[in-house]
A and B are shown apart, each in its own frame.
Chain A
């Protein structure tokens, strides 16, 4: 016998991290009566409660906050806005007709929503995905797992650390482990430049004199029970090992900070098309996917630099999802947006509706100086530099695009290679 509880909602938001919380507050403020925020873990906030460092909130709250405080303020706002949420509720399927099947406290829920907003965020690329030679001893963690162990559960994952990848979480963990008495022997980065924000490079690595090896990768991880040795090597521009450049570390722990991947298993089940470059749904300027009524916001679409931007993009998506739920949305344009030279990816991928402005987010493929971003032939914007680690945002009035209906816009960036 199956006990299925049925719910009818105007807007279902899947994922209660910074994106889902921002979206839920925004939807309530936009006047949607029946919003349900669905979260699989015990608490709302997503990864932020374990991100005890500061640097959050400057855009969204106009003050610098730690991750826990950002969550605290978001929760207070959600409470004020009257957001309904359901924690310990795991969505197991979304059907293309906006029916959501979830498991909540040992009961099956069937949720019929007028619009659905995907806010599932992203997950870390794991050691297994990196194909590193050697043995498979204990002591290998993603940086985020190590962060959770240290900051939530109160356990130090190791004493002599090598960190592979110089993303923000990796650098932040280098500082955190140093402060807690561990020795960070090396931060190893495959690319010839640091992957994360410059602020973290300075305040996490340089402040603590942590040895940084760019243009290097791990050649071998060794150990029987626990990691005993890690060998790194320099790589050439084709990412092949350069013989004779090996360095050995007697490490006991390896942290992986090798990028984040939007988490879209549910999206795929719903028939949402993904962009192979972002790993997230292909969206239009409303943040709507190819499935009518299914919208996406935050890191599930593409990985943002800051939690603030994830909250903001999801809040924008929520306003559009709210309009759809009210039945006031329609398609009135058909313009494709494509990434061109030096642009790794661009969001949105199409412009389908007249709205006051179009907001583009993009990343360059390589660090460039004196960079100029060209939005087709419509608009040019100059930057003193453009770095892959810092997303570029350009807001343009919709009027610029009207004459391009049924055409394609290619967005490119030209400049001098900085590395």
Chain B
């Protein structure tokens, strides 16, 4: 049996959730969580922590005044893949016009998650 503390980030309470993990590696108990979302979050943090990645990609526009397009993964990806994903992102170049929430790069690193634009660029 071992115990691990996860600080929950689902709301500003930021519960320090103590998770008990039995010898077979299964989660057996949660303590100090205020709600059910905390259990789900703590489980994810222990099994495979995930994060939404936001960055920018090179953008070609008419006015040449906006060299970057802000992007995000449209879902969380495993934390250990963040730096590999940045290597992929650094090679992407797009051309205006770009719609909001347009897929810029599908299925990044085979995660099933797409990289999408977070703003629109008209020309």
A residues engaging B (CB < 8 A)? 49, 52-54, 64-69, 71-72, 150-154, 179-181, 197-199, 202-203, 207, 384, 390
Contacts and interface: CB of A to CB of B under 8 A. Distances in A.
B108 interface: no
A68 B79 CA distance: 23
B68 A154 contact: yes
Nearest to A50: B70
Interface in B28-82: 51-56, 58, 66-68, 70, 72, 79, 82
Given A49-B70, A151-B56, A207-B79, 8 more contacts: A52-B72, A64-B52, A66-B54, A72-B100, A179-B53, A179-B82, A181-B86, A203-B9
B120 interface: yes
B68 A151 contact: yes
Contacts of B12: 197, 390
A353 to B, nearest CB: 30
Contact of A198 (B9, B70, B79, B119): B9
Nearest to B73: A54
Given A153-B67, A154-B67, A207-B79, A69 B14 contact: no
Interface residues of B, number: 25
A416 B58 CA distance: 51
Given A54-B54, A154-B56, A154-B68, A68 B86 contact: no
B70 A68 contact: yes
A68 B118 contact: yes
A179 B118 contact: no
15 contacts: A49-B70, A49-B119, A54-B54, A65-B118, A68-B119, A69-B100, A69-B118, A71-B119, A151-B68, A154-B56, A154-B58, A179-B86, A198-B14, A203-B51, A207-B82
Contact of B119 (A69, A181, A384, A390): A69
A275 B79 CA distance: 43
B55 A52 contact: yes
Nearest to A150: B56
A69 B68 CA distance: 15
Contacts of B86: 179-181
A276 to B, nearest CB: 28
Given A179-B82, A180-B86, A151 B70 contact: yes
A179 B86 CA distance: 7
A66 B69 CA distance: 13
Contacts of B55: 52, 179-180
Most chain B CB within 10 A, of A64, A68, A203, is at A68
Contact of A72 (B51, B82, B120): B120
Nearest to B45: A202
A150 B67 CA distance: 11
Contact of A66 (B13, B14, B83, B118): B118
A380 to B, nearest CB: 19
Contact of B7 (A52, A53, A202): A202
A49 B51 CA distance: 21
B68 A152 contact: yes
Contacts of B56: 52, 150-151, 154
A369 B75 CA distance: 35
A198 B67 contact: no
Interface string B83-120: 10010000000000000100000000000000000111
